[in-house]
Amino acid sequence: MNSTPNEQVPLADDSIIDLQEVSIFYSGKIAVDKVSFPIAKNKITSIIGPSGCGKSTLLRSLNRMNDFIPGVTVDGMVTYGGQNLHGSEVDPVEVRRCIGMVFQKPNPFPKSIYKNVAWGPGINGYKDSMDELVEQSLRQAALWEEVKDRLHESALSLSGGQQQRLCIARALAMAPDVLLMDEPCSALDPISTAHIEDLLFELKSRYTIVIVTHNMQQAARISDHTAFLETGKLIEFGVTDQIFTRPQNQRTEEYVTGRFG
């Protein structure tokens, strides 16, 4: 790192999550090294970088999903609503209610489409009309028209792209503050990918989205802010346009122009 990146880039003033010197270790081996940047409210922040640079690990630290990987320890602060998410007094279940996640491979429950969406709100004590919530969530995920006549069929009968949108609908049904997406399009064909990118634009007005992606065009197309990681270090963070057209760092330039990675 040649500078503290977030000082030189004009960013939206209200950040919803702040990463401060976040380091993540796998059984003592460092995977993410003192990364700091803010995540702006109602914006799309993308995290890019070559394979194995720690971007997914970093993303998972934002809703405590690293808890399920044995041997992972997190240093530093991830501040959300004035609280360090990794503080001992924080209940990870509570964190995950507010910060939802969509995974790399579509992972619908082997149940009906309806139950996939309704289960999360159900166990968290949602009291209003479940039918309405399911419809609204599926509409937000641009899936309603395709599945409205087969809500009680198995979610596994859907295509990969539809399954991923169902997973997005399932996450949206929880009305999360932040939606984390771990390479959500990597298992999908270009048409499904385009569907989901359109969807993210729509969702931006209501949700804050953090997306990890391998696809640089995707990051350039959809995100407002971009963080570039290499071997666990934050190389550059800034407004997406700037990262892709006038990067400050040599490595960033090489990466975004496709010279390595």
Partner 1 sequence: MSTPDKPAFQLDYGDLKRRHRKAKIFANFCATITWMGVALLAVLLAQVSIDGFKWLDWQFISSFPSRFPAKAGIASALVGTLWLISLIAIISIPIGVATALYLEEFNSKNRLNRLIELNISNLAGVPSIVYGIIGLAVFVRQLGLERSLLSGALTMSLLILPIIIIASREAIKTVPMSIRHAAFALGATRWQTTWAHVLPAASPGILTGVILALSRAIGETAPLIMIGGLTYVAFFPEGPMDSFTALPIQIFNWVARPQQEFHELAAGAIIVLLAVLLLMNAAAIVIRHKAEQKFK
Among 52, 131, 156, 206, binds partner 1 (CB under 8 A): 156
Task: Work out whether the CA dihedral 187, 189, 190, 193 comes out positive or negative.
Answer: negative
Among 109, 126, 177, 231, binds partner 1 (CB under 8 A): 109
Per-residue x/- marks for partner 1, 174-213, CB under 8 A? x---------------------------------------
Residue 63 interacting with partner 1 (CB under 8 A): yes
Q: By CB under 8 A, which span of 2-10, 90-98, 210-218, 227-235 interacts with partner 1?
A: 90-98
**Phi, psi for 211 (deg, rounded to 5):** -125, 130
Radius of gyration of the chain (CA): 18
Task: Quote the least distance from Cβ 173 to partner 1, whole Å.
Answer: 8
Residue 136 interacting with partner 1 (CB under 8 A): no
Residues binding partner 1 (CB under 8 A): 63, 65, 68, 70, 93-94, 96-97, 100-101, 103, 105, 107-110, 119-120, 123-124, 154, 156, 167, 170-171, 174
